[in-house]
Amino acid sequence: MDLQLLTFIIVGITFTLYIGVAIWSRAGSTKEFYVAGGGVSPLANGMATAADWMSAASFISMAGLISFMGFDGAQYLMGWTGGYVLLALLLAPYLRKFGKFTVPDFIGDRYYSNTARLVAVICALFVSFTYVVGQMKGVGIAFARFLDIPFEQGVIIGVGIVFFYAVLGGMKGITYTQVAQYCVLIFAYMVPAIFISMIMVDNPIPQLGFGGKLQDGTYLLDKLDKLHTDLGFKAYTVANKPTIDLFFVTAALMLGTAGLPHVIVRFFTVPKVRDARISAGWALVFIAILYTTAPAVAAFARTNLINTVSNRSYQEVPQWFKNWENTDLLAWSDKNNDGKIQYQSGNALTDIKPVFSDQKGNSGQRMVTNGNPESDNELYVDRDIIVLANPEIAQLPGWVIALVVAGGLAAALSTAAGLLLVISTSVSHDLFKKLIMPQISEKGELNAARISAGIAVVVAGYFGMNPPDYVAALVAFAFGLAAASFFPAIILGIFSKKMNKEGAITGMIVGLVFTATYILYFKFWGGTPDQYWFGISPEGIGTLGMIFNFIISLVVSKFTSAPPESVQQVVENIRIPRGAGKASSH
């Protein structure tokens, strides 16, 4: 059967499942819209949390990052895994016991200030929009290649689907949809990994195959190191980034996790605090299945990619190469006119986003109009295509390729839905209900949530069509912004009775403004890597922003009045491990 038809069938079946679940479990009240009525089982919530957590960055981009960065890519793996453990053990149960729907709700009440609530709303919107743009790019990539449509049209289709089940179902619909999406994405990730592991190293367990021997008797990683060094790349298993940047990026990803609003709200959907802890444990198990497989997928894909295309003539490369050319996410410019693909160290393009002309090169390749004449490298590969292209590169059956597409879409859409819910609740609950229109009816609040979600998904779609970077980098920026703004306010709000509103507000503003300015300067305003502060990249600057936030919050609180006694008593109570602390919108 034709690959495109297979893809239509498998993706169509999964989307029908998602939409059917969304209709079956649609929200009928604000409590169901915000926290699924607080009645989700720990197992189901763990699965939904894993799907929410494992976004397009985890499914599509993480293995691609490791594949291109080698050892340095492990910072994403360690940061996101450690961050989830930090969130589940240190923060989620306390926030759950505090009994509020959203992070701005917690910050507004804990710091007894509508100003603090407003700053938190702005931070939540900033973080969530940055994050959701990455998901929309992931959706566009999957649709562009496998539905044979332009990238922008792929994003538009994704926008429509997310709009339907996020706006209709709220958290209740999203929760049960994410359970189905987890099943799809983990099956889609593991099946090709197992196939390729058996083909390359004769081991059906990818995690073990990662350290296995190839058919010629050499170890996979030794072979990959040699391929890299022969082509002028740094060795795959050796760190190349400055240690300080590795540390700061890992810390930003880890600490930013604790401030991600769409993950935190998941712990309000279970009946009791104990259930929140249990669901966190289940989620970690479900997440670990994919995260322990990603390094193996990265190594398999990198080895196959180099062996398949390097120093091959354009006429010899498989059809998958030409198919991905048509998406503008893979490019070859025959600079020396020898008809062969020279893949080696160096930037093939002068810009990260390739631009093609309608003309064909002498060897039949699509012409790159912004190639870098100073580099000998002729091949550009967008790292976000690696996981989706991996089954094609390994020549797996068509149904496996189609399944991976469905999994990538499930990962991107599940997280996008959770983020859009955060955006809508921040606007309707924290902005309208708490600040602008306290007398708004429940129906009016629900309508405001749905309208704001609709507007948000359209805006996110636009930026998804014009992304400033690859998916995981966009997500890393969101984590950095969350670390610099939310993390200190939440930690100090839980564990320090003396932290007051003046300190928290000042710290959040300074952390967010500093981190956002640094990212914008180096990504959009002409900053160059040699200007990095202490060698810290934009992906890791959130850690420094967080340090500034902590320092300023503590200093300001020392010179301003202490919180009211009633607030200090609340802080004392939420650390006592008793009671369920039901979520409340009041």
Q: CATH 1.20.1730.10 in the chain: give the residue spans.
A: 3-301+396-574
Torsional sign, CA 84, 88, 94, 100: positive
Distance (Å, whole) CA 36 – CA 55? 21
- Looking at residue 469, its pLDDT comes to 58
How confident is residue 583, by pLDDT bands cut at 50, 70 and 90? very low
Distance (Å, whole) CA 488 – CA 490? 5
Residue 299 has pLDDT above 80, yes or no: yes
Angle 185-187-188 (CA atoms, 0-180°, nearest 5)? 60
- Looking at residue 580, its pLDDT comes to 45
Residue 169 has pLDDT above 60, yes or no: no
Residue 104 has pLDDT above 70, yes or no: yes
- Looking at residue 174, its pLDDT comes to 67
**What's the mean pLDDT in 165-189?**
71
Contact (CB, 8 A) for 401 and 387: no
- Looking at residue 22, its pLDDT comes to 63
CA-closest candidate to residue 317, choices 341, 293, 291: 341
Distance (Å, whole) CA 278 – CA 161? 31
Given 3-state DSSP classes, what are the helix, strand and coil percentages for the chain, each rounded to the nearest 5? Answer: 70, 5, 25
How confident is residue 510, by pLDDT bands cut at 50, 70 and 90? very high
Q: 539 versus 582: which is more confidently predicted?
A: 539
- Looking at residue 467, its pLDDT comes to 64
Range of 7-16, 187-196, 471-480 with top mean pLDDT: 187-196
- Looking at residue 581, its pLDDT comes to 46
- Percentage of residues in the chain with pLDDT exceeding 70? 85
Distance (Å, whole) CA 211 – CA 208? 6
**What's the mean pLDDT in 550-563?**
92
For the domain made up of 3-301+396-574, give the CATH fold: Sodium/glucose cotransporter (1.20.1730)
Q: Tokens standing for 565?
A: 């006694």
- Looking at residue 37, its pLDDT comes to 44
Torsional sign, CA 163, 165, 171, 176: negative
Q: Tokens standing for 263?
A: 């993950």
Least confident of 40-44, 146-150, 278-282, 331-335: 146-150
- Looking at residue 506, its pLDDT comes to 93
- 3-state SS class at 411: helix
Q: 107 versus 175: which is more confidently predicted?
A: 107
- Looking at residue 35, its pLDDT comes to 47
Angle 178-61-49 (CA atoms, 0-180°, nearest 5)? 25
How confident is residue 10, by pLDDT bands cut at 50, 70 and 90? confident
Contact (CB, 8 A) for 60 and 141: yes
**What's the mean pLDDT in 548-575?**
89
Residue 177 has pLDDT above 60, yes or no: yes
* 3-state secondary structure string across 76-142: HHHHHHHHHHHHHHHHHHHHHHHCECCHHHHHHHHCCCHHHHHHHHHHHHHHHHHHHHHHHHHHHHH
- 3-state SS class at 52: helix
- Looking at residue 261, its pLDDT comes to 63
Distance (Å, whole) CA 227 – CA 343? 11
Contact (CB, 8 A) for 145 and 469: no
DSSP annotation string for 474-530:
HHHHHHHHHHHHHHHHHHHHHH-TT--HHHHHHHHHHHHHHHHHHHHHHHTS---GG
Contact (CB, 8 A) for 259 and 483: yes
- Looking at residue 36, its pLDDT comes to 45
- Looking at residue 507, its pLDDT comes to 93
| Residues 459-500: tens digit of each pLDDT | 778 777 776 555 556 667 778 888 898 889 988 988 888 899
| Residues 326-382: tens digit of each pLDDT | 777 788 888 888 888 888 887 777 765 666 666 677 777 766 767 777 778 888 888
Residue 135 has pLDDT above 70, yes or no: yes
- Looking at residue 256, its pLDDT comes to 81
**Average pLDDT value for the chain:** 79
